[in-house]
Amino acid sequence: MDNLLHQDTEEVETVLTNRNEHGDLLVFGSVTRDLLILFDDFSHGSQQIYRDDIKKAFNSIQLYPSTAQVEEMLLSAHECCQNTDLNSLTFGQFAFFASLLKKEYQERNITFANKEGSLIVNRKHSPRTSKTALPVIVNRSILESRIQILPSALFALVIIFNDVISLLDHPNVQVFLGGACNPTTWRKEIAIPILKDHCITYFNPQVEEWFPALIEVEEQAKQTAELLLFVIEESTRGLSSMVEAAYVAGSGGPLILVLRELPETETAIAGETLSASEKEDLNRGRKFLRDTVERVDIPVFTDIETAIHCCAKVIKVGTKITNLTTDDGAQPVRLADISVDDSFIAAKEKYDDYNSGGSGKLTLNEVALAYKAFSGKALSQDNVEMLSGLYESDPSKIRMSFEEFCCLLTEMLSDQPQLNYLNSLFNIVSGTTTNFINWLFNGGPDILHEKDESVFERDIFLGGSCGRSTWREDVAIPLLKKQAISYFNPQLPDWSMKFLGIEAEAKKHSRLLLYFIGNESRCVASMVEIAYYIGLGRNVVLCIQNFTDGNLLDGVTVTGRSLLDYNRARSYLSDIANRASIPVFDDITEAIMSAIQEIKLSSRESET
């Protein structure tokens, strides 16, 4: 890997061993040598690099995987190699993933901003970035002092009028302060003072009591804003904000996101203690949001102040959001849409295929066969002599572990032409992934058109309510089978983050996304992904049901603040769908029949 490290390796070689504690050879050339030096720094002298340091290590060599990609690495390493720790990678695993990412970056000509900011795209400042601009502060103080004497409906109209007038008076709003509202104080205590210091205009949508009519006012503010900041922290459910942020990410809007998960300790929101299952649902929704945002190469922040300063840099300097660096306090992401575990699994399968003796190690002849099966290239005589010299052994006595095989692949494939390598790799992993997805989504022959040759092609993705919900097997699947419509069914007994990338691939290759947001489940993650795919312009059909007083979830009645929060998020989602001319139903059968009609219509159009 050319110039991965810029340090004096001669000083390090005296203390760096080329083998691990199991005797595995780790260095097969300059690429693995440099990576091992890096690995040793971030593993703190141990034999593993842990979750908290994995991104840091990749970032140090200008590789920027997403959170979901790191999860894929850890899970595939654990499943393929029986790692005792789900939170770490060995050197061979780390090196393999590093070489894979680097090749993908080279193929797509991914470049990065350096410390001097050479990739910063400067632009002429419009009046909205003028240093003389005054911050926009929606003045509600007089109105709020009279809240007790105004009927609620009239008060709502007055606030809306006040907001619209403010927008008319100050059309050049630069930052929309979206995200968590009451009882949060981050706008007043952190965001607004920093923005004022930079003479940046803003719109503050925070009100004492929210009502649906404010959606239109906020929408106007978002349309005029140059940058949309969303803060989703741990003191609120943040449901509506997650829906909005996902839509902005999908539609390519100028988004800066601060995202914090709920703590493992007991959590209360507006005096309501969250159950373990609700907390799990809310954090799953946050994970989905992080993944959707990172898939469009937008960094996700955890610190509000850092994010605000990055807002200022984007507005005043003209830095692209995707060009914010670790020097800015951002966590850059590149190519989050690619799967990183397929090739690793394929390498392990090829290794196992040629382990004829079942000893767990390959002879040199078996290594050559596995290498050719994986890469499409044969080991040369020079390669064999090189290996013999490295092992200081007769070629017939060489035995190679999978850890060593990963290191060999890292070294050997670093100089291989990218196109040949990727073509060969695609032929290997496509069959592996196809078989797995076929099993995962129950894509048996009874739901496939005869003309379908790829498991990646389906008519409808059945998203939405899972858990105890039976709408798929009771209603959707019988109707789809009757009409010979193929489908993906993502419902699993036990869902985990390892399926996130697989589901994304399934949605990518479905002609229509059908979602049922029922009133028997919270559907937090589903609402997030729906908003994202609407933003992307995907073909979507929705069925949304609101909660009512008396709804039971996990044996607890949904009332008070939770009822308001979940229905508000559904209102935001419906509004987003309506603006995009997406059909929204409240009856699941009607929604399914509408989806079927859309598929049939598009099929007829494609045939003409």
Q: Which two tokens stand for residue 516?
A: 């049922």
Q: What is the CATH number of domain 127-328?
A: 3.40.50
pTM for the model: 0.80
List pLDDT tens digits, range 515-564.
Answer: 999 998 999 999 999 999 999 999 999 999 999 887 878 777 888 889 99
pLDDT at 182 over 80: no
Closest CA to 543 of 524, 519, 517, 578: 517
Residue 253 predicted with pLDDT over 90: yes
pLDDT in tens, 374-421: 999 898 888 888 888 888 878 888 899 999 999 999 998 886 543 333
Alpha helices in 235-275 (DSSP H): 239-250
Element containing residue 436 per DSSP (H, E): helix 418-440
Q: Which residues, in sequence order, are CB contacts of 406 under 8 Å at separation 6+? A: 92, 93, 95, 96, 347
User: What is the bridge-based pairing of β-strands 510-517 and 458-464?
Assistant: parallel
Q: How many residues are there in the chain?
A: 608
Nearest-angstrom CA–CA distance, 503 and 532: 14
Other beta carbons within 10 angstroms of residue 360's beta carbon come to: 11
Peptide bond into 183 cis (omega under 30): yes
- Reference 202, options 215, 191, 190, 210; nearest CA is 191
Beta carbons of 538 and 511 less than 8 angstroms apart: no
d(CA 263, CA 177): 24
Q: Which residue has the tokens 């919270």?
A: 522
CATH number of 441-607, picked from 3.90.550.10, 3.40.50.10140, 3.40.30.10, 3.30.470.20: 3.40.50.10140
Q: What is the pLDDT of residues 473-511, one digit of tens each?
A: 999 999 999 999 999 998 876 766 667 777 888 899 999
Q: Which residue has the tokens 């654990």?
A: 78
The domain segmentation of the chain, as residue ranges, is 9-110+379-414, 127-328, 441-607
Contact 513, 450 (CB under 8 A): no
d(CA 366, CA 300): 44
Q: Which two tokens mark 590?
A: 């009607």
- Residues 519/560, Cβ–Cβ less than 8 Å: no
pLDDT score of 348 more than 90: yes
Q: Which residues partner with 461 through β-bridges?
A: 488, 513
What ranges in 548-587 are assigned the alpha helix state H?
560-579
Computed over every residue of the chain, the mean pLDDT equals 81
User: Which residues make Cβ contacts (< 8 Å) with residue 269, sequence separation at least 6?
Assistant: 235, 236, 237, 561, 562
**Residues 6+ positions from 419 with CB-CB distance below 8 Å:** none
Q: Which residue has the higher pLDDT, 156 or 557?
A: 557
**Residue percentage of the chain with pLDDT more than 90:** 53
Asked whether the domain spanning 441-607 has the same topology as the one spanning 127-328, the reply is: yes
Tell how far CA 125 is from the center of its chain: 32
